[in-house]
Structure 1
Amino acid sequence: MTASDTHTTQLAVPDGTRTAGGGGPAAWSPDSWSPDSWRGRPAAQQPDWPDPEELRGVENTLALRPPLVLPEEILDLRRSLAQVAAGEGFLLQAGDCAERFGSCTEAGVRGKLRVILQVAILLTYGSGLPVVKVGRIAGQFGKPRSRPTETVDGVELPAFRGDIVNRPEFTAEARRPDAGRLLSAYHHASAALNVLRALTLGGYADLGQVHDWNQEFVRRSAAGQRYETAADDITRALRFMAACGVDTRSQAALHQVQLYTSHEALLPQYEQALIRYDEKRRGWFDTSAHMLWIGDRTRRLDGAHVELLAGVGNPVGVKVGPSTGAADLRELCERLDPDRAPGRLVLISRLGAGRGGELLPPLLRAVRDAGHTPVWACDPMHGNTFVSESGYKTRRLSDITTEVAEFFAVHREAGLHPGGIHLELTGDDVTECLGGDLDEVLDTHLASRYETACDPRLNAAQSIELAFRVAEFLREQRSVA
């Protein structure tokens, strides 16, 4: 794509907001949408920015920055997700709970990419389906919080909302929202994207490196040893193809991968500043990431987040929690996907282990009967979080696996394709989630390597163990399809 393909303009903050008579938000229609039309609507989960003028200046500066991703890449992802929606692929969306600026280094990005590649190759190897890889990376710097403040020893301060807003140290200065961190987030996302592109296109994702993706601490686990066996099979298959005269060196798909980026569109000011109009395609695109999603806490139909993403051409995800009613979900789908375009919507259920059999079927029916063909993905992380006896927020791998199994079972019963999984994981040897094979993480182990900035993540060995189980679920699903 040349520079002339994308028309970039400064999107200054308007002096007023678009409201209906009486002060409420205007009724929505495609013709009434503009990048700033969200400003007349309620926005949940927002920091209390102390200096509106500073925030305005940061937004205007960001609006002049180059896009982080390009419309053609975004549309490539939509085409791939349309294949997933048709049952011809599987979505793996995975990465950090909340990225830290300090992790946007070559080593940090390589570690995340490594475990995503391992999980993806196991899913493809085990199921025979192409896997669309979307990282929670290069932009997942903000997090919604259950409470706006945190109290320690009688002192109450604003909650840590991610590096894009404030710092985690429990001091008044660190917890003060800082609009300048929006600019820092842009630059760190740009750095992470540069590393990602170099690694995915420069040989690191080559299938010939499949053994090298397995770290030493993972090899010692039962899951890691099973991974090595799968990697041996893949290596033998590549040698067989070469022996049969196939020029594997000329097959780009064997040496490169496309990893798309995604994050929760939590801060509308940041997202609006990176929305660009593409003259060639006559549409608006949020160039902060290939895919954005709306959280379970921000999916209010008349809210700012739904309004903002309703008008951009990116794939849009919606987290679907236990409080989501069938009628509400149908209205959200109508608002975000009025054209019923495959590849536009990803509905991400996060219901909790033991609840999918009851809560998911009416949601599937409502969406299907309304004529939508979204990708249905399972987030088995957020509905299974609890505080352990040792005081750490954690999750059990067994609960995570149970929720995925229920997700597959419900889709099989409904005759629908289970389209993907959405995971919080890391390539590091952390102790944040309980369970695992021979190296089981116990409650007494959590304190040893608990490093997350917010929610607990699966470590590399746990991620590989889960990947084998999901591949089994996919094989069973395909055998009865």
Structure 2
Amino acid sequence: MTSNAPLTWPDLPARQQPSWPDVDELAEAQNTLASYPPLVFAGECDVLMDRLAEASRGEAFVLMGGDCAETFASATADNIRDRVKTILQMAAVLTYGASMPVVKIGRMAGQYAKPRSKDTEVRGGQELPAYRGDMVNDFAFAPQNRRPDPARLVRAYHASSATLNLVRAFTQGGFGDLRHVHDWNRGFIANQANQRYERIARDIDRAIRFMAACGADFEALRRVDVWASHEALLLDYERPLTRIDSRTGRPYATSGHFLWVGERTRDLHEAHIDFVTRITNPVGVKVGPTATPEDLLAIIDRVDPDRVPGRLTFITRMGRDVVRTNLPPLLRAVKDSGALVTWVCDPMHGNTFESDNGYKTRRFEDIVEEVRGFFEAHADAGTHPGGMHVELTGNDVTECLGGVMHLADADLERRYETLCDPRLNHQQSLELAFVVAEMLAAR
């Protein structure tokens, strides 16, 4: 149980917040959110903390995946099912490669807000507020659509609630049964282009048949946990959903199990870092190529002063060209400090560029190369590569180049559907899982 008693927050600078045109509308939305039940529960967050602690010790591997920016229109049963299915398929392959549990975390049920490099957008001589995600305004370029609307905060809550309900139904009701998931992956291998991964699939099949012959309890394998995460960006949404747990007396963000602070908002003296210091959830901080060892040690002291295993995750987003040079000093500094954090690789954001025909995209091969560099850096430092954080969809979009599908610039326009950053499609996501499984098995 949690208490809806209001918490007080210090008046600190907060970047990437919308300029709400009506403060009364904002107050009404915040009061409504504060009156609603929690989306997740304190006990669930504590369990995830334990799972992330295992990953920090090299006893588990984290898979975080989902949309760059969720939309209200995409919160349908089919889209949610396909996203969960993709995560489960990837996790099955990674579990076999790692020979350890995979902690499955969805970028879902709350990823409705996005940071922007500019506050406004200009088209055809008209300047309007930038699209900041469906939690704030609409993507359509018109004054009435781009006006920040606090009522969207409440709509985001309902969309997140519906998403979580369906995810729980899928994962606890047999949809994630390991035998079904493996059958789905057989379909992936049946594609001739993917047959280089046939050996792994064959080995998994042999392992499942061995378990069945030994009388393994497959009923226990019918249920899986998929945790919900998003960037803690819009404080006008996060604060009203922060509650005091009646069991422990500690505050928890009940908008998601795991929240992270982005690279653009991780200033130690500003509101976003202050927010995550006040909640008990496991939290993450994005770390880019300009981060210094001193930056990370200061974040640890501020966010995880008690050095609780599983409390703090560093999500590194370096880029394929610098991951082998910029990451090792950070790993060594944190290791030498004695702090135990979970290291997760985001191989997407440091490898984004504009294609020749004007699309924001990423190359599959660059993504793989950053993950490979991440593993190599940890091997050299004697630390644990704890997981990966990937923007993906269960749909057959054409947003990232390469992979066994050999998507080229000319293919991007076929199904380029993202409203923000390019995502791996279903086939590319599974291919990445097989490649990373090979890296895990080779450790």
TM-score range (shorter-chain normalised) is over 0.9
Aligned residue number for residue 28 of structure 1: none
**How many pairs are equivalent?**
443
Aligned residue number for residue 289 of structure 1: 256
> Match for 1:453: what amino acid?
L
Note the C-alpha offset of 1:247.
4.5
1:150/1:156 contact within 8 Å kept: yes
Q: Does 1:248 find its partner at 2:220? A: no
Matches within 5 A, 1:52-451: 52-214=23-185, 219-220=190-191, 222-223=193-194, 225=195, 230-231=200-201, 233-244=203-214, 246-250=215-219, 252=220, 254-437=221-404, 439-451=405-417
SS of corresponding position for 2:21: coil
CA distance in 1, matches of 2:123, 2:276: 37
> Match for 1:461: what amino acid?
Q
Note the C-alpha offset of 1:262.
0.1
Aligned residue number for residue 427 of structure 2: 461
Q: Which moved more, 1:205-214 or 1:448-457?
A: 205-214
Encode CA deviations 1:265-308: one digit per residue, 9 max, x unaligned.
00011111111101212211001000000000000101110011
Aligned residue number for residue 27 of structure 1: none
The unaligned stretches of length 5 or more in structure 1 are 1-5, 12-34
2:399/2:424 contact within 8 Å kept: yes
Aligned residue number for residue 37 of structure 1: 9
CA distance in 2, matches of 1:460, 1:226: 17
> Match for 1:241: what amino acid?
M
CA distance in 2, matches of 1:232, 1:214: 11
Note the C-alpha offset of 1:72.
0.6
SS of corresponding position for 2:73: helix
Encode CA deviations 1:97-131: one digit per residue, 9 max, x unaligned.
00111222211110100110111111111221210
Note the C-alpha offset of 1:182.
0.2
Note the C-alpha offset of 1:232.
5.1
Encode CA deviations 1:2-55: one digit per residue, 9 max, x unaligned.
xxxx232242xxxxxxxxxxxxxxxxxxxxxxx4324x1110111111111111
CA distance in 1, matches of 2:8, 2:433: 41
Q: TM-score, normalised by structure 1?
A: 0.89
SS of corresponding position for 1:276: strand
The structure-2 alpha-carbon separation of the partners of 1:283 and 1:415, relative to structure 1 and needing over 3 Å to count, comes to: same
CA distance in 1, matches of 2:306, 2:336: 15
SS of corresponding position for 2:212: helix
SS of corresponding position for 2:58: coil
CA distance in 2, matches of 1:403, 1:449: 26
1:380/1:403 contact within 8 Å kept: yes
1:160/1:168 contact within 8 Å kept: yes
SS of corresponding position for 1:182: helix
Note the C-alpha offset of 1:230.
4.5
Identity %: 53
Q: TM-score, normalised by structure 2?
A: 0.96
SS of corresponding position for 2:407: coil
CA RMSD of aligned residues (A): 1.7
